[in-house]
Homo-oligomer: A and B are copies of this chain.
Amino acid sequence: MHFCPHCGAPLTRKIPEADDRPRFVCESCGAVHYQNPIVVVGAVAESEGRILLCRRAIEPAFDKWTLPAGYLEIGETLQEGAARETLEESGYHIVDPHPYAITNIVRVNQVYIMFRCALGDRVAAAGRESLEVGLFTPEEIPWQQIAFRSILKTLELYRTDMEKGSYPVHLFDIA
């Protein structure tokens, strides 16, 4: 961040009055520009013991498998975002989403909020972000080809919870 998005003047890095950490401040118009972590929403969508995965058609982790997920957009709830991302990346609707895994990935300023849900109807082909989609039992999941550590951990937790038949909300950090 170098220039004020409001007025175009160069920005200064300083601690504003009544604050305690450096921000991007515009000395020209007085605006303070905060930067905050971004929310990623997604779904662990299950149908009769099988979990929906998408094989990524984009970098990073091209060709690896992942749960459908992406950035929460302005104007939508977390659960709407999870449904949108699942639809976009797999063509499937989701049904009855519940909070499931909350993940801090501080290194990249992201918070993941993954919902467990039932898989609904398939209404479209996989989107341009996916090479293919598939439904996998825990045994069938390509465990060595999962895209991200946060997704791998979420799938591992879900596999254990399927065995127990109990699905508490999980909170974990990826270092």
Contact = CB atoms under 8 A, between A and B. Distances in A.
**Copies of this protein in the complex:** 2
Contacts of A18: 128
A104 B128 contact: no
Contact of A3 (B8, B39, B113): B8
A6 interface: yes
Interface residues of A, number: 41
A4 B34 CA distance: 15
Interface string A13-49: 0000010010010000000011111110000000000
Contacts of A102: 78, 99, 113
A78 B173 CA distance: 10
Interface stretch (A67-75, A135-143, A144-152, A158-166): A67-75
A34 B73 CA distance: 9
B6 A71 contact: no
Nearest to A38: B36
B76 A106 contact: yes
Given A39-B111, A98-B171, 9 more contacts: A3-B6, A3-B7, A5-B11, A36-B73, A37-B74, A78-B102, A79-B171, A102-B113, A111-B113
